[in-house]
Structures are given as structure tokens and as C-alpha cells.
């Protein structure tokens, strides 16, 4: 239960059939969907039948026997949770017989329950307590002395929740939540009858078990057995605010449950369109960073980066930054400064930064961290479909028959969506995984990929072309769809190109390392297996051919008719919470909000009129161009919103040198991150708990982010930016964040129907939301592509220049892990680090043995760009010749070794392929020693004060 006291209808809604059934509950007629349970029908009619093992997020189980009812014409007292409704049924929910039976059941439960209600953490939020009251239990005739479970101990190993076995009623809601909702199957009921106990793994506690700490079991538990430690420490919440998770692009809705001004629990919101009541460990538990002692709450400045920081007023910090930027522009021209927007910030915060750059800086030197993740998605999907966004809502995966996961690791990076996907896979959908590494989805409880195409890093396009070749040459094209929906000239040209034997699986096998027969079988399955849905991640985009691969996947979907309805589509799984939104808001140097090219006179004119300025019509600099220009001495000032370029961008030494070369680096962030070591001005930012605005998730869903407390540092981020723009000479102000969204809606056609008022009324909206689509657009390209006809693009496979060599014989690829998030700035400041406190290098046993490396050894990882050290983990997840690491810890500096190679169309870095060598080591790298020295200088307060 939560403080909002959400209703629980007891059993889930039945599959929609359009049919209804009429029955009477205690004499009152009620009409419900066919397939509903009697319990659900009663709840809809307003009668709450007592229940313990039932809850409407789980299938009915029928174990507690508390929900008994009488049904006219039937013998006995059936359980209402497992009894389906029938037309004309007459149900009685209350009678002396039922009262007696229910009290008897409750008596048994209570006689084996510690009666410490007044000091129990669940006091006031316990279904067992509520049910005892509901059935009118007044005495326990059996006493409390018999055989019982009261001495069962506690498992406190999980950092976020406790399992107190003495309070368990073995209703198995936790086990079923783990199976049905999360799909991890970490819990079991051990033993039988009276000896039954809930177990997480054989002997180990929750922490060491398969449990991924999603918290679904805690939420499902009707007693205090599974309880959040924050609730044990602080007590029950007294009010709640609905908001959105600030981690990944799934965009889960939460009730931030508060006690006074502090959050005591984050409960996934049942009506959240993206998550429907589920969450992962990050969103549910890892929010403590928001009040971490490392947070900077005062603006700070310093003349040069070898000086300590000095705390100053907002006015002084903003004035200092504006003066420096103005001096740079006077000396080096107006194009000598620029800004970077953050995909962690709200749409409103991003919108004002790009507006500040365009209107106050008077150039288009604005880029976003999406440059280094999904910019090829923007390019590729716009070319083929006409808009830079995923085609489906998350629900759609429930109708997929074949799911192709390419270069994505949903169970780690998009866990709540992964749970939906796993549910569909357990129902029988087939899975194709294209990934150099054996991700969890390849084989997990009740799931096994039909095909794992374990390709060599850098050969995505070879594989997608080979699949398309099979589809074209084996007559598997959906000719009717292509003729009806696609540009046939581009199709014929593509068909001739892809049918060339050079694109056959056999011809490309040597490059990709994937057996031709496996490619053929996977292609046939995708083309003929029913609804085919593609989900992809950074393993597609972060390559020298990232844009080609996105277009290759789009070609595949169009050729097989897998676009424009439920269960199909091409879907980028966005990394950060607002990658979609930051791109939508005009963060790219060539595009105004809504992906309209800056060179378009009419679009420019509409903004010029509203903003009262003349806009530059030439695109500005991308992030890598800004760095190059900084090293050339022509680009000298940068405003960086919530983005740690020095940790997240490739070729760290080059990034460091570029930042060091600038005269004014302004960082707006929560913490003194790696980039702040090069900054002259630090403008403290707000956590998501203090933000008022919107995030747009991977399914184009615009969700409200509501403040649960005022900004701890005193100023909204958008206000800070407005004040900086004003100090630069361009008056910019808004009464509130809602007014910024009103401006977005007024200037951006796909957002025309969006406002805070509407979002507050309706919960969320998926763009396009305008006159043509007043209710938003869950599935795109239904009747026609946004660009009219789907465009097939040629995707010639060009091997990357990054090849293994004698000096660097291994290929490094990178990725994320569930418990940490990106550069780790947030999650490293939570208990999540207990699962992953350092980045390690996965290496195959044969490669390790050849180099004398043992499991756990410190190794030097070197490329032509640099060297770092980390511990090795021998793993068969990677094939020989491939090594893998995560990039969450700045001490490791995984990007010290990544290169300057990037996508041909968008400059998205080629993070996923770096030729490296691994060798045993006994000391930190030179880079890490340099970093330590820099950190020591970048102390917070002037020691002289």
C-alpha cells in the first residue's frame, strides 16, 4: 500500500475480449468484462472482499482462503479470487458462515505472527492488520504457545530492504512478483505445508542471490516481512508526489512518498504508462545521492583551474561567467563560445540552454550528450522514416512474435522494459540477439534466444546486410507493404545493392565471425515469424557506421512490413532519462526544436519573431569540433549543463587538453565532476526531486517531473540559465516552467497539444500530439510514414579503421551494468556501489592465459590513445579476441583508451570498438596519477578564507 491508498481490485484485468458479463454482488447488479474474477467484480461494485494472497498486479493464486464467497446454486464457499464471473451469477460476500470461516483463517495466521504491531515498521500499512480488523477478529483461541515460526531470523544483507522471516505468512506474493512482474525468478517456496519458507537462493541471503533488487517483492508483500530500510528508519510516509525517475530512458513514473520534506520511499506508480507499477533498483532505491554530502549548494568561481574554488553569490558567479564569455566573443568572435545540453535535465531546462546559445551567444554552437550516444538514431530514422524517434510504445512488445535485440542489454540498461520483454518471451515469442557478448537475455530462466549472432565488434552492418540479403534473395520481402508504403525507386535500388553476392552471409562470414547458416536462419525467422520487433541500443549507434546500421535495421523492418502496427517497429532504447527530449528540444547545432533544420528560412523566422533576434542560419559546432577548435585556439568558452565530458567522451587525454585550453568553462551540475576540474565557474544544479518540468522517454512519452522540495541551492536550473542569458545582454525570463513548455508547444508542431495542465490531467502524452493527433501517438507510421513513403537507404559495409594489430590484438567493447548509471555520478553515491564498486575487464580464459593474467589480477589496458589499469575477470561471456568493460568509475577512466574514430554521418564516437592489449600490471597508469593530482588542486573552498 502507498500513502495515496491506491485501489487494489484483487486480480488483474482480463485480456480484452469486448464481451461483458452481468451478475449480482450482494443483490446489486454489476457488469464487468468477461474473464474477470468474482473478487474483481465485487471490487468494481464497491465491495472489498477480504484477501491476503491476491493483488491485482499478480495472477490469482488461491492460497489464503480468506476471500471465500457464497454463490447461488453452488456448493461450498469458493475463493472469489480464482472464480471467474458468469452471466446471471448471484454472489454473497457477507454471511454468518463466511464471517466464521474468515475469522478462523485469520486466527490461524495471527496465532503464528509476532504481535508487535505498535512497534512494527508496517504499522498503518499492513494488510494482515487491516484484514484482522476487516473480518472482526477478536480472539485467538489457539494461543501463541504452539509450534510457530516466530524465531525465524532476519536477512538484512540487501542494502535497501529487510526480510524478517518471523512475519512471513507464506502467501507467495513475493515469489510471484519476482516471477511474473520482474522475471528474475530469484525466490522460491522451500519446504511443504507448515515447514514452507521463502528463500532467495539455496543458503545465501538476498545480496548474494540472483535477486536484482528491483523491489517488486517488497511492494507485493502484505506484511512487514519485506520492508524498505528507509521505512524502518523513518516510519510511514504522510503524503506523496507523482514524478518520473531520473535515470534511464524507460521513464518510470513514481510516487515519491514523503514524510514532511523528506522522501522515505519511491513507489512505482501503478498508472505510469511506461512502467505500470514496476521499477528497477536505481529508480526505487538509489535516490540518496540527491542529499549526498558531496553535493555543491553554492555557486563557485576561480580565476584559473590551478586555484581553489571560491564560494560566491549567484549574481557574482553569473556575472563572472557572462563577463568572461563577452570578453572571449569580443576578442575571438561570437563563434568562440558554445554550450552543451544534458539528457539528464528536463525538456524545459534543455530548451532554455539552446535558446541561450542561439539568442544570447548569437551562434548555433549547441550540442548535446546525445552526440555520443543516439545521434545516429536521429540521422538514420529521419532518413528512412522521416522522424528521429522510436516507432512503438513499450506495451507493443506484448504483441511481438519475434524480438530482435541488437547491441542492447535491456536487463542491465533498461530493466523495466526488459521485464516486459521477458514476459513476452516466456509467453513464447522468439528471440534473436545480435551482440559480441553473451548478454543475460541469451539464456536466463525460461528464456533462450533462438539465435545469438555473436559478431566481431565493428561488423554490425555486415550482419544486417547479410540478413537483408537473405530476405531479398529468398523471396521473403513483403511486396505488398513495400508497394503500398515505400518509395519503390529507393527500394529497387536497395534491392539490387543488397542482392549482390558481396552481401551474402557466406561472403561476410569471415569478417563478422557469424556462421552464414545462423544468419540465414535468423533472417528467415525475423521475416516469417509473425510480428517482428527490433530493439537496439548503443551497440548499434556507437560505431563508425552507426548511422548505416540504424538505416540497415530500418530497411529490414520496411522490407518485411514490420512497421506501423502493434508488435513491430524499430526502437532505440535510450540511455539517459531525457535523451529523446534533449534531441527534440533543438540541442543539435543544425536543428531547431522539433528537428527542423536551421537553414529553413520559415522555421527560423518563426523563432526570430518570438525571440526578437536574428538567428544564424549556418549550423554550429558539434562537441568534437568544439574540442578541435579549442585546441586550435579559436573556441575558448563553454557552458556545460549536467554532462561530464571529461569522463564520458572518448579519448580522454584529448578532451582534457581541449577543456584545459579554454578561458571559461562553466559547469552546471550536482557534484564537482571530472569536467569541473577544468572549470572556472560552477553553478550548482538541482536533483530530479527539486525539478519542475518534463522528461520524454524512449517511447516519446512526455512525463511530468514534479518537485517534492524546493531547489536546495536556491535556484531552478532554468532560472540560472535565464539569468546568464540576461547577463549576456539577451533578456530571458519565464514566470515558471509551465510557461517554457507553452513556448515549446507554440513553436514545435509535434508538441502543439502539450501543456503542464494537460499532463497533470492525463498523466502523460506521446508526441506527436497536435491537431492531427490530439491524443498523442503511441505507435507511429500507422497509415503512412512521417516522410510520406518509407525510404530505403544503401548501407554499404565499410570495415572500421580500428583493427586489431600485433601491438593491439584484442578488441575492447564497452557497456553498462544494472546497478550503476553512466558516469556513476549519482549511483556511485548510493548503496548501489555494493554491487559494483569498480569497473572490471572481462577477458576470455584463453586470452588471459596467453598473457599470464589470472582472475582478479590488476591489468594494464592499453590502446594507441592511452592506458589505464583495472582488475581482470575471466569470463566466457566474451569470445576469444574480445574484452569488455563498463565505464561507470572515473578512477578506471575507460575512455582513456577509446579513440577519436566516429560515425561518418554524426560524429558519434566509436566507443564499441577499440584495438587494445592487456598485460599484468602492479601500478596505476600515468593518466590516473595525473588525474589524482588534478583532483587535489580542484578543492572546494579557498583555504585562505
Asked if 23 and 69 count as a contact pair (C-beta separation under 8 A), the reply is no
Tell whether the torsion through CA atoms of 606, 611, 612 and 614 is positive or negative: negative
Burial class of residue 787 (count of CB atoms within 10 Å of its CB; 0-12, 13-18, 19+)? middle
Of these partners, ligand SF4, ligand FES, none, which one is at the site of residue 416 (CB under 5 to 8 Å by kind)? ligand SF4
> Which residue from 57, 63, 504, 826 is in contact with ligand FES, where contact means CB under 6 A?
63
Task: Yes or no: say if 372 and 898 are a contact pair by the CB < 8 Å rule.
Answer: no
- Using the rule CB under 6 A, give the single segment among 47-55, 218-226, 490-498, 499-507 that binds ligand FES: 47-55
According to the binding rule CB under 6 A, does residue 173 interact with ligand SF4? yes
Of the candidate residues 3, 85, 178, 793, the single one contacting ligand SF4 (CB under 6 A) = 178
Question: Of the two residues 152 and 259, which places its CB atom closer to ligand SF4 in the complex?
Answer: 152
Measured from the CB of residue 62, what is the shortest distance to ligand FES in angstroms? 4
Helices (H), 76-200: 96-111, 127-135, 173-176
**Binding window for ligand SF4 (CB under 6 A); candidates: 105-113, 130-138, 205-213, 424-432:** 205-213
The listed partner (ligand SF4, ligand FES, none) that binds 81, CB under 5 to 8 Å by sort, is ligand FES
* Total residues binding ligand SF4 (CB under 6 A): 40
Task: Indicate the SS3 state at residue 261.
Answer: coil
Of residues 41, 64, 174, 883, which one binds ligand SF4 by CB under 6 A? Answer: 174
Question: Which residues does 614 contact at the CB level (< 8 Å), separation at least 6?
Answer: 608
Instruction: Confirm or reject binding of residue 98 to ligand FES (CB under 6 A).
Output: no
Q: Is residue 664 helix, strand or coil? A: strand
For residue 43, give Cα distances in angstroms to 49, 382, 804: 7, 47, 64
Among 240, 279, 454, 925, interactor with ligand SF4 by CB under 6 A: 279
Under rule CB under 6 A, residue 559 binds ligand FES: no
Environment class of 822 (CB within 10 Å of its CB; exposed 0-12, middle 13-18, buried 19+): buried
198 sits near ligand SF4 (criterion: CB under 6 A): yes
Q: Does 52 bind ligand FES (CB under 6 A)?
A: yes
CB of 49 to ligand FES, least distance (A): 8
* Residue 397: strand, helix, or coil: helix
- CB closer to ligand SF4 out of 11 and 47: 11
**Among 3, 67, 85, 177, contact with ligand SF4 (rule: CB under 6 A):** 177
Q: Which one among 67, 69, 91, 216 touches ligand SF4, defined by CB under 6 A?
A: 216
Q: Does 121 bind ligand SF4 (CB under 6 A)?
A: no
- The entry of ligand FES, ligand SF4, none near residue 449 (CB within 5 to 8 angstroms by kind) is none
List of E strands, 104-238: 154-155, 161-164, 187-190, 197-200, 226-228
Site string for ligand FES, 728-767 (x = CB under 6 A): ----------------------------------------
Q: Does 199 bind ligand SF4 (CB under 6 A)?
A: no
Strand order in the sheet with 764-766: 693-696, 701-705, 764-766
Select the span of 48-56, 271-279, 296-304, 857-865 touching ligand FES (CB under 6 A): 48-56
110 binds ligand SF4 (CB under 6 A): no
Q: Report how far residue 613's alpha carbon sits from residue 356's, in angstroms, rounded to the nearest whole number.
A: 11
**Residue where the block lists cell 579476441:** 881
Q: Is there binding between residue 103 and ligand FES (CB under 6 A)? A: no
869 binds ligand SF4 (CB under 6 A): no
Q: List, as one string, the DSSP characters of 684-704.
A: E---GGG--EEEE-TT-EEEE
DSSP state of 257: E
178 binds, options ligand FES, ligand SF4, none, Cβ within 5 to 8 A by partner type: ligand SF4
Q: Does 169 bind ligand SF4 (CB under 6 A)?
A: yes
Angle of helix 488-498 versus helix 460-473 axis, rounded to 10: 100
Query: Would you say 280 or 508 has its CB closer to ligand SF4?
Result: 280
42, 43, 58, 81: which one binds ligand FES (CB under 6 A):
81
By beta-carbon proximity to ligand SF4, the closer residue of 223 and 750 is 223
| 248, 413 Cβ separation under 8 angstroms | yes
Query: Beta strands 90-92 and 20-25: pairing type?
Result: parallel
Gap between the Cα atoms of 868 and 861, Å rounded: 5
Query: 66 contacts which partner out of ligand SF4, ligand FES, none, CB within 5 to 8 A by kind?
Result: ligand FES
CB of 792 to ligand SF4, least distance (A): 34
Helix or strand holding residue 91 (H, E): strand 90-92
Contact (Cβ atoms closer than 8 angstroms) between residue 739 and residue 725: no
Q: Does 579 bind ligand SF4 (CB under 6 A)?
A: no
Packing angle of the helix pair 516-528, 505-512 (nearest 10 deg): 120
Query: Segment contacting ligand SF4 (CB under 6 A): 214-222, 484-492, 561-569, 745-753?
Result: 214-222
Nearer to ligand SF4, 177 or 727 (CB): 177
Q: Specify the residue, 267 or 354, whose C-beta has the smaller distance to ligand SF4.
A: 267
Residue 214 sits in the site that holds ligand SF4 (CB under 6 A): yes
132 lies in the site for ligand SF4, by CB under 6 A: no
- Does 64 participate in binding ligand FES (rule CB under 6 A)? yes
Listed in sequence order, the DSSP H helices in 73-126 are: 96-111
Give dist(CA 469, CA 480) in Å, integer.
19
**Interface with ligand FES, residue 66, by CB under 6 A:** yes
In this structure, the strands spanning 591-592 and 596-597 are antiparallel
- Candidates 55-63, 274-282, 755-763, 863-871; binding stretch for ligand SF4 (CB under 6 A): 274-282
Say how many C-beta atoms besides its own lie within 10 A of residue 611's C-beta: 17
In angstroms, the Cα distances linking 541 to 803, 809, 873, 882, 925 are 18, 24, 27, 19, 29
- Give every CB contact of residue 662 below 8 A, 6+ residues apart in sequence: 630, 635, 636, 637, 638, 678
Bridging pattern class, strands 366-368 and 337-341: parallel
Find which of ligand SF4, ligand FES, none residue 840 binds, CB within 5 to 8 Å per kind: none
Toward ligand FES, which CB reaches closer, 54 or 175?
54
Site string for ligand SF4, 402-441 (x = CB under 6 A): -------------xx-------------------------
Q: How far is the CB of 107 from ligand FES (least distance, A)?
A: 16
Query: Taking the complex as a whole, how short is the minimal distance between the CB of residue 279 and ligand SF4, in angstroms?
Result: 4
How many amino acids of this chain bind ligand FES (CB under 6 A)? 12
Give yes or no for residue 68 binding ligand SF4 (CB under 6 A): no
3-state helix, strand, coil in the chain (%, to 5): 35, 20, 45
Q: Which does 67 bind (CB under 5 to 8 A by kind): ligand FES, ligand SF4, none?
A: ligand FES
Q: Which does 247 bind (CB under 5 to 8 A by kind): ligand FES, ligand SF4, none?
A: ligand SF4
Q: Which stretch binds ligand FES (CB under 6 A): 56-64, 107-115, 134-142, 756-764?
A: 56-64
Per-position DSSP letters for 320-370, written without gaps between them:
HHHHHHHHHHHHH-GGGEEEEE-TTS-HHHHHHHHHIIIIIS-S--EEEGG
C-alpha cell, 852: 599470464
Binder among 25, 32, 171, 425 for ligand SF4 (CB under 6 A)? 171
The residue ranges that bind ligand SF4 (CB under 6 A) are 168-174, 177-178, 182, 184, 186-187, 198, 200, 211-217, 220-221, 223, 225-226, 245, 247-248, 250-252, 275, 279-280, 282-283, 415-416
The residue ranges that bind ligand FES (CB under 6 A) are 51-54, 62-67, 79, 81
Amino acid at each position: 500500500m502507498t500513502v495515496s491508498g491506491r485501489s487494489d481490485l484483487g486480480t488483474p484485468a482480463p485480456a480484452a475480449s469486448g464481451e461483458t458479463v452481468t451478475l449480482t454482488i450482494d443483490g446489486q447488479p454489476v457488469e464487468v468484462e468477461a474473464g474477470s474474477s468474482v473478487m474483481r467484480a465485487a471490487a468494481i461494485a464497491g465491495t472489498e472482499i477480504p484477501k491476503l494472497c491476491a493483488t491485482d498486479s499478480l495472477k490469482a493464486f488461491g492460497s489464503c482462503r480468506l476471500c471465500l464467497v457464497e454463490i447461488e446454486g453452488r456448493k461450498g464457499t469458493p475463493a472469489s479470487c480464482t472464480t471467474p464471473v458468469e452471466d446471471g451469477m448471484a454472489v454473497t460476500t457477507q454471511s454468518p458462515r463466511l464471517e466464521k470461516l474468515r475469522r478462523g483463517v485469520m486466527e490461524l495466521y495471527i496465532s503464528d505472527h509476532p504481535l508487535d504491531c505498535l512497534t512494527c515498521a508496517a504499522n498503518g500499512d499492513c494488510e494482515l492488520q487491516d484484514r484482522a480488523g476487516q473480518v472482526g477478529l477478536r480472539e485467538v483461541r489457539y494461543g501463541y504457545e504452539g509450534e510457530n515460526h516466530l524465531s525465524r531470523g532476519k536477512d538484512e544483507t540487501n542494502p535497501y530492504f529487510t526480510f524478517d522471516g518471523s512475519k512471513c505468512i507464506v502467501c507467495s506474493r513475493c515469489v510471484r512478483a519476482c516471477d511474473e512482474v520482474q522475471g528474475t525468478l530469484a525466490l522460491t517456496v522451500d519446504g511443504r505445508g507448515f515447514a514452507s519458507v521463502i528463500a532467495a537462493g539455496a543458503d545465501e541471503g538476498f545480496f548474494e542471490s540472483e535477486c536484482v533488487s528491483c523491489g517488486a517483492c517488497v511492494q507485493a508483500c502484505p506484511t512487514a516481512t519485506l520492508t524498505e530500510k528507509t521505512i524502518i528508519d523513518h516510519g510511514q510516509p504522510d503524503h506523496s508526489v507523482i514524478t518520473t525517475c531520473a535515470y534511464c530512458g524507460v521513464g518510470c513514473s513514481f510516487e515519491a512518498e514523503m514524510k514532511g520534506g523528506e522522501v522515505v520511499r519511491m513507489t512505482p506508480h501503478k498508472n505510469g504508462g511506461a512502467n505500470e507499477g514496476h521499477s528497477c533498483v536505481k529508480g526505487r532505491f538509489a535516490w540518496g545521492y540527491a542529499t549526498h554530502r558531496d553535493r555543491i549548494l553554492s555557486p563557485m568561481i576561480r580565476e584559473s583551474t590551478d586555484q581553489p574554488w571560491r564560494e560566491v553569490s549567484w549574481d557574482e558567479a553569473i556575472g563572472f561567467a557572462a563577463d568572461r564569455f563577452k570578453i572571449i566573443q569580443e576578442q575571438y568572435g561570437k563563434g568562440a563560445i558554445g554550450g552543451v545540453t544534458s539528457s539528464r535535465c528536463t525538456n524545459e531546462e534543455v530548451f532554455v540552454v539552446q535558446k541561450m546559445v542561439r539568442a544570447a551567444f548569437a551562434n548555433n554552437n549547441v550540442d548535446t550528450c546525445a552526440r555520443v550516444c543516439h545521434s545516429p538514431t536521429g540521422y538514420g530514422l529521419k532518413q528512412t522514416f522521416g522522424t528521429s524517434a522510436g516507432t512503438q510504445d513499450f506495451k507493443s512488445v506484448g504483441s511481438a512474435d519475434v524480438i530482435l535485440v541488437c547491441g542492447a542489454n535491456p536487463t542491465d540498461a533498461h530493466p523495466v522494459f526488459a521485464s516486459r520483454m521477458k514476459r513476452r518471451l516466456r509467453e513464447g515469442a522468439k528471440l534473436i540477439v545480435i551482440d559480441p557478448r553473451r548478454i543475460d537475455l541469451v539464456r536466463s530462466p525460461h528464456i533462450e534466444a533462438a539465435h545469438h549472432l555473436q559478431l566481431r565488434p565493428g561488423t554490425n552492418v555486415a550482419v544486417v546486410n547479410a540478413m537483408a540479403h537473405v530476405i531479398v534473395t529468398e523471396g521473403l520481402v513483403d511486396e505488398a507493404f513495400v508497394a503500398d508504403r515505400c518509395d519503390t525507386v529507393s527500394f529497387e535500388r536497395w534491392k539490387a545493392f543488397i542482392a549482390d553476392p558481396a552481401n551474402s552471409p557466406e561472403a561476410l562470414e569471415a569478417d563478422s565471425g557469424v556462421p552464414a547458416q545462423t544468419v540465414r536462419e535468423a533472417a528467415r525467422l525475423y521475416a516469417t515469424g509473425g510480428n517482428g520487433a527490433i530493439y537496439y541500443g548503443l551497440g548499434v549507434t556507437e560505431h563508425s557506421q552507426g548511422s548505416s546500421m540504424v538505416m540497415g535495421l530500418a530497411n529490414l523492418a520496411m522490407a518485411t512490413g514490420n512497421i506501423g502496427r502493434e508488435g513491430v517497429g524499430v526502437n532505440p532504447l535510450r540511455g539517459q532519462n531525457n535523451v529523446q527530449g534533449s534531441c527534440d528540444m533543438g540541442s543539435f547545432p543544425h536543428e531547431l526544436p522539433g528537428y527542423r533544420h536551421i537553414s529553413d528560412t520559415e522555421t527560423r523566422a518563426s523563432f526570430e519573431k518570438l525571440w526578437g533576434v536574428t538567428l544564424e542560419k549556418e549550423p554550429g559546432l558539434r562537441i568534437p569540433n568544439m574540442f578541435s577548435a579549442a585546441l586550435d585556439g579559436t573556441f575558448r568558452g563553454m557552458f556545460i549543463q549536467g554532462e561530464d565530458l571529461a569522463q564520458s567522451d572518448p579519448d580522454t587525454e584529448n578532451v582534457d587538453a581541449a577543456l584545459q585550453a579554454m578561458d571559461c568553462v562553466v559547469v552546471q551540475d550536482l557534484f564537482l565532476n571530472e569536467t569541473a576540474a577544468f572549470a572556472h565557474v560552477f553553478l550548482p544544479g538541482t536533483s530530479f526531486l527539486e525539478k519542475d518540468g518534463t522528461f520524454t522517454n524512449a517511447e516519446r512519452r512526455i512525463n511530468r517531473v514534479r518537485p517534492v522540495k524546493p531547489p536546495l541551492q536556491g535556484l531552478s536550473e532554468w532560472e540560472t540559465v535565464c539569468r546568464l542569458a540576461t547577463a549576456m545582454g539577451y533578456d530571458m525570463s519565464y514566470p515558471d516552467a509551465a510557461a517554457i513548455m507553452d513556448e515549446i508547444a507554440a513553436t514545435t508542431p509535434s508538441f502543439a497539444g502539450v501543456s503542464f495542465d494537460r499532463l497533470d490531467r492525463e498523466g502523460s502524452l506521446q508526441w506527436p500530439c497536435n491537431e492531427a493527433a490530439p491524443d498523442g501517438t503511441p505507435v507511429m507510421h500507422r497509415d503512412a510514414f512521417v516522410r510520406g513513403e518509407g525510404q530505403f537507404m544503401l548501407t554499404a559495409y565499410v570495415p572500421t579503421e580500428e583493427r586489431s594489430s600485433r601491438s593491439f590484438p584484442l578488441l575492447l567493447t564497452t557497456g553498462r551494468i544494472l546497478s550503476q548509471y553512466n558516469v556513476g555520478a549519482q549511483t556511485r553515491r548510493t548503496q548501489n556501489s555494493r554491487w559494483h564498486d569498480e569497473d572490471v575487464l572481462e577477458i576470455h580464459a584463453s586470452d588471459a592465459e596467453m598473457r599470464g593474467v589470472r582472475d582478479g589480477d590488476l591489468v594494464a589496458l592499453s590502446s594507441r590513445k592511452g592506458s589505464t589499469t583495472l582488475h581482470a575477470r575471466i569470463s566466457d561471456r566474451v569470445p576469444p579476441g574480445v574484452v569488455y568493460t563498463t565505464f561507470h568509475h572515473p578512477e578506471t577512466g575507460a575512455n582513456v583508451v577509446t579513440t577519436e574514430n566516429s560515425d561518418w554521418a554524426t560524429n558519434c564516437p566509436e566507443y564499441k570498438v577499440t584495438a587494445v592489449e592487456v598485460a599484468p600490471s602492479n601500478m596505476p597508469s600515468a593518466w590516473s596519477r595525473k588525474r589524482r593530482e588534478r583532483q587535489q588542486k580542484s578543492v572546494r573552498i579557498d583555504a585562505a578564507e
